[in-house]
């Protein structure tokens, strides 16, 4: 598992999105050059979608071989197909409808009117099975070793749909769970669990804006993962927090990197 999280602070959320997009393009292109393919886990939320929009607008976006990219999701709002609040709908609008991804390699979580109907547990189990089928002997369990797994950080320190003190954040066996009673609407969701998140090579946590400052400070100051799920998100090789100055404004001085732009 990676050592201490690395923290990079950008001036504002626009620059953060552009810099993170550039970083992601490089990471994907490097993985594709080394192994022929790359795998990325997308997040919902404002910062994740801002990054995808910046990636789509980047002149370097075609450094990615879109047809050789596997896309997964860290969580989903359990709503009907096409609902504008679904994370996959927002990702399609921000980026995926504008680049030549291979539809067979884009793997959203099921909708509430999909093959499992409104049975969120069945939908979560099906996603876990898809992940297990994609994992190989070189991986570290029933999920692929994602190259990059991105997570937005909520003001309450939630990541994916793992909310403080919720049963889902305590899960140690399953890789994907149904979430009931989410404090942030909608109440029913599907989420990767902490063990699945920690299978990723690199985990990137994204937070911008003053409303995220307390969450970033708590999660980076030694809080427990049950109280602050973002504190439990770690990559096997690297854990990277990408912040804007507002979200970094309450970090303890010793954590604030001296030369970020
Ligand atoms: O509902 C969700 O919220 C979080 C954070 O979103 P943000 O808008 O506060 O950045 C997101 O990471 C998660 O994927 C999403 O389902």
100-132 confidence digits (pLDDT tens): 999 999 999 999 999 999 999 999 999 999 999
Q: How far is the CA of 243 from the centre of ligand 1 (A)?
A: 15
Judged against a pLDDT cut of 50, whether residue 203 lies above it is answered with yes
- Residue 259's pLDDT is 52
Q: Which pLDDT tens digit goes with each residue over 205-232?
A: 999 999 999 999 999 999 999 999 999 9
Stretch 181-208: mean pLDDT? 98
Atom of ligand 1 nearest to the CA of 184: 1
- Domains belonging to the chain, first-starting first, are 6-244 (3.40.50.1360)
Whole-number Å distance between alpha carbons of 132 and 144? 7
Name the average pLDDT for the chain.
96
74 near 192, Cβ under 8 Å? yes
Atom of ligand 1 nearest to the CA of 152: 12
Q: How far is the CA of 99 from the centre of ligand 1 (A)?
A: 23
Atom 6 of ligand 1, nearest CA residue: 45
Q: Does ligand 1 have an atom closer than 6 angstroms to the CB of 45?
A: yes
pTM here? 0.97
Of the chain, the percentage scoring pLDDT greater than 70 comes to 97
Q: Does ligand 1 have an atom closer than 6 angstroms to the CB of 186?
A: no
Exposed, middle or buried, 35 (CB in 10 Å: 0-12/13-18/19+)? exposed
Q: Does ligand 1 have an atom closer than 6 angstroms to the CB of 87?
A: yes
Given the cut 0.85, state whether the ipTM is greater than it.
yes
- Residue 3's pLDDT is 78
Q: Which pLDDT tens digit goes with each residue over 237-258?
A: 999 999 999 999 999 988 876 5
Q: How far is the CA of 44 from the centre of ligand 1 (A)?
A: 5
């Amino acid at each position: 598992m990676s050592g201490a999280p690395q923290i990079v602070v950008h001036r504002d959320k626009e620059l953060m999105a552009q810099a993170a997009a550039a970083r992601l393009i490089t990471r994907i292109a490097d993985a594709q050059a080394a192994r022929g393919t790359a795998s990325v886990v997308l997040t919902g939320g404002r910062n994740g979608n801002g990054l995808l929009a910046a990636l789509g607008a980047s002149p370097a976006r075609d450094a990615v071989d879109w047809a050789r990219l596997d896309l997964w999701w860290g969580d989903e709002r359990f709503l009907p197909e096409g609902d504008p609040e679904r994370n996959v709908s927002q990702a399609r609008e921000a980026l995926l409808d504008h680049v030549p991804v291979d539809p067979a390699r884009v793997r959203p979580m099921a909708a509430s009117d999909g093959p499992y109907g409104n049975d969120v547990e069945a939908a979560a189990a099906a996603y876990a099975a898809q992940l297990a089928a994609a994992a190989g002997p070189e991986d570290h369990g029933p999920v692929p070793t994602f190259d990059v797994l991105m997570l937005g950080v909520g003001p309450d320190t939630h990541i994916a749909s793992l909310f403080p003190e919720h049963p889902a954040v305590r899960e140690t066996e399953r890789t994907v769970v149904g979430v009931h009673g989410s404090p942030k609407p909608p109440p029913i969701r599907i989420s990767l669990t902490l063990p699945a998140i920690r299978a990723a090579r690199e985990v990137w946590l994204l937070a911008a804006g003053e409303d995220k400052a307390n969450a970033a400070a708590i999660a980076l100051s030694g809080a427990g993962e049950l109280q602050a799920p973002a504190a439990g998100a770690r990559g096997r090789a690297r854990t990277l927090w990408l912040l804007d100055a507002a979200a970094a404004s309450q970090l303890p001085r010793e954590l604030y990197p001296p030369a970020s732009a």
